[in-house]
Chain A
Amino acid sequence: MKDYFDLSVKNLRHRGIRSWLTLLGIFIGVMAVVSLISLGNGLQAAVGAQFGISSTEIITVQAGGLSSAGPPGTGVNNKLTRDDAEAIGRIASVDVAIPRILASGKIEYNDKVSFGMVGSVPDGEERKVVYDTIEVEADSGRMLKDGDVGKVVLGWNFYKDDSIFGKEVVVGKTVLIQDRKFEVVGIMGKKGSFMVDGLVLMNDDDVIDLFDYGDDVDLIVAKVKDKSLMDRAKEDIEKLMRQRRDVDVGKEDFSVSTPDAMLDTVNNILGGIQAFIIIIASISILVGAVGIVNTMTTSVLERRKEIGVMKAIGAKNSQIFMQFLIESGLLGLAGGFIGVVLGVLIGIGGILAINNWIGAEVALSIDFVLVGGALVGSFLIGAVAGIVPAMNAANQNPVEALRG
């Protein structure tokens, strides 16, 4: 068997550029699949991180139906209230329900204006729950504490990204939010999510006062007693909220989402994109396979005499068949190899770009099962494409083949 590989490699080394060009299809297809799958895990993690999907036992309630779900606090008429939060907090499976405000506001510093989201932080025990939920700690300075008035904690981007205000904001400085002065007491560590990294945290009372919120809230964050109670709690909350807002099943003007559900949504979208790219890649590979059929058929015609000679010196049909089959497989493998190398590079490059660009921290990894599978797969595709030409070669009549 090894002999045939040797022979095939020798033959392939002398192939013209034309043969290699037919591999473009395989190469592009394999590259697309490999880079996509390498990126896939990164994309999922990145997108997940972007939307602050945490793995904690948190259920988020927002006003507005799923269909009309926009950014928190926008365009919703029938807002959630602090009473809603209290009611949810009384559900058995819910540990605590925290009303939160996410308001869009004007932020000024260094005479430059920017707009950002201001998030409220409640007092007492619930403060810790909020910090746990968004999984942040102070990178410099401190987080807010009870009784802080006129103080804010800023997301990492305000510190890091000096394009926002022309210079970085550090602890101790004063920023203008909605034209009111606030002292920056802390900068949150980098989170890798534009939502958190661009957030301004402010104590509840300040937010209500500054944005004139009254009893309205933008979302209610419910911490469930145990992870196993997630589904149960979600149902309970939905039922309660339907009663409170007097809506029927299926006509909810609010949404209750769990991290799992959000992750599912993200995965669905990514899955759709992946399916699309895989279809394109499959077409590309199919084209590549047809290219291999073509180049192998030509090769058999060109090498008729060689086939005749091999038969004259004792090659059995099966041996000729094997040789051409393996040659064809190796052609596929060559295309696949280039595709895998470039695909892995694109995957790594893509993940580095994601990490850099958005600030996520997806681990770099080469999936060797994927690489091996792609290589074996491209060899098999080549071999399958070579079956008919190889049969053609094997069935040559030696006398006629020798004539050339």
Chain B
Amino acid sequence: MVTERKELIRLRNVSKFYEMGNSVVKALNEVNLKVYEGEFVAIMGPSGSGKSTAMNLVGSLDVPTHGSVFLDEIDISTLGESELAQIRGKKIGFIFQSFNLIANLTTIENVMLPMMFQGTGIDKRRKKAEELLKLVDLGNRGEHYPGELSGGQRQRVAIARSLANDPEVILADEPTGNLDTKTGAIVMEFLEKMNREGKTIIIVTHDPDLAEKYADVVYWLKDGILEKVTKREGKRFVDVTKKVKKAVKGNGVK
């Protein structure tokens, strides 16, 4: 039944090496990953596990040293910088641990920004941004600057921004990392709600509880290696590492 769904992202035997002086750091080593439409996926690992590198690759911010990353069946390593930016802006909505709103822009301008880069007209941008701010319960904060908002509010603005171009995937890097438990939970509930409405969500986290609480599939990374993949089956998570490997390689000929 897994193969019936639309595939959005596939990492096939992906490695990312960094040169640090004379030595080579293997941030990711032969990692396979596959994300289907509508899934809630967590990439889990302690610091240094390579999860940030994985996020950069999944988010097409970076290209792998070896292996291939497919976004919507397109091998991103074949794309130039501009096409990559374009595709990223259209298909992926980023949420960062430290919110990363542009301080000089108001809330609504922040939400409008991704649409500007896609060439959307100003009126349409404003209208859509207003809708999105309402969606995250910040309809009345459009003219505030990020500095005037609380952390939880800022992260909700970031969620609104991530949705600006109707992306297929929301990629959240430690979305609750800078928030207290309560506001973190509110942010996660928004993500969960969006997932129920059909959005694909990928969160990157070091917190196994968070991963297993919200995600359907969890990729466990350790020292740059994919340790295991677990999938929610009823109330428990079962190991599906081999299945994923097979799925990735099975239709991986491109």
Spell out A's residues near B (CB within 8 Å): 3, 7, 10-11, 13-14, 305-306, 308-319, 398-399, 402
Q: Which of A10, A306, A312 contacts B61 (CB 8 A)?
A: A312
Instruction: Report A93 CB to chain B, min CB distance, Å.
Output: 72
Instruction: Report B56 CB to chain A, min CB distance, Å.
Output: 5
* Secondary structure of the A contact surface, majority rule: helix
> 6 tightest CB-CB pairs across the interface, nearest first?
A314-B89, A313-B114, A314-B117, A316-B82, A316-B85, A309-B100
- Which segment, of B35-43, B102-110, B130-138, faces chain A? B102-110
Complex interface: chain B residues within 8 A of A7 (CB): 105, 116
**A14 with B103: in contact, given A312-B59, A313-B113 (CB under 8 Å)?**
yes
- Give the CA-CA distance A14 to B109 in the complex, in Å: 15
Instruction: Report A336 CB to chain B, min CB distance, Å.
Output: 23
Count chain B CB atoms within 10 A of each CB in A305, A312, A314 and give the residue with the most: A314
- Give the CA-CA distance A318 to B82 in the complex, in Å: 8
- Give the CA-CA distance A365 to B62 in the complex, in Å: 59
Instruction: Report A77 CB to chain B, min CB distance, Å.
Output: 78
**CB-based contact B102/A306 at 8 Å:** yes
- Give the CA-CA distance A57 to B86 in the complex, in Å: 73
Q: Which of A11, A308, A311, A319 contacts B104 (CB 8 A)?
A: A11
**CB-based contact A314/B109 at 8 Å:** no
A sample of 23 cross-chain residue pairs with beta-carbon separation below 8 angstroms, ordered by A number, consists of: A3-B122, A10-B109, A13-B104, A14-B103, A305-B100, A306-B102, A309-B94, A309-B102, A310-B113, A311-B85, A313-B88, A313-B89, A313-B94, A313-B114, A314-B85, A314-B89, A315-B85, A316-B85, A319-B85, A319-B117, A398-B61, A399-B61, A399-B62
Nearest opposing residue in chain A for B171, CB measure: A312
- B10 adjacent to chain A (CB < 8 Å): no
Complex interface: chain B residues within 8 A of A318 (CB): 82
Q: Which of B96, B103, B117 contacts A316 (CB 8 A)?
A: B117
**A312 with B88: in contact, given A3-B116, A398-B61 (CB under 8 Å)?**
yes
Q: What's the count of A-B pairs with C-beta under 8 Å?
A: 70
Complex interface: chain A residues within 8 A of B165 (CB): 314
**CB-based contact B109/A398 at 8 Å:** no
- Give the CA-CA distance A7 to B93 in the complex, in Å: 21
- B128 adjacent to chain A (CB < 8 Å): no
- Give the CA-CA distance A105 to B59 in the complex, in Å: 95
Instruction: Report B69 CB to chain A, min CB distance, Å.
Output: 14
- Give the CA-CA distance A7 to B104 in the complex, in Å: 9
Nearest opposing residue in chain B for A15, CB measure: B104
Complex interface: chain B residues within 8 A of A313 (CB): 88-89, 93-94, 113-114, 117, 161, 164
Instruction: Report A404 CB to chain B, min CB distance, Å.
Output: 9
**CB-based contact A316/B86 at 8 Å:** yes
- B78 adjacent to chain A (CB < 8 Å): no
Complex interface: chain A residues within 8 A of B90 (CB): 314
Complex interface: chain A residues within 8 A of B118 (CB): 314
Q: Encode contact with A along B57-89: 1 for CB under 8 Å, 0 otherwise.
A: 001011000000000000000000110011011
- Give the CA-CA distance A398 to B118 in the complex, in Å: 18
Complex interface: chain A residues within 8 A of B161 (CB): 313
Nearest opposing residue in chain A for B55, CB measure: A399
Nearest opposing residue in chain B for A394, CB measure: B81
Q: Encode contact with A along B138-178: 1 for CB under 8 Å, 0 otherwise.
A: 00000000000000000000000100110000000000000
Complex interface: chain A residues within 8 A of B61 (CB): 311-312, 398-399, 402
- Give the CA-CA distance A312 to B84 in the complex, in Å: 10
Instruction: Report B224 CB to chain A, min CB distance, Å.
Output: 16
**CB-based contact A14/B82 at 8 Å:** no
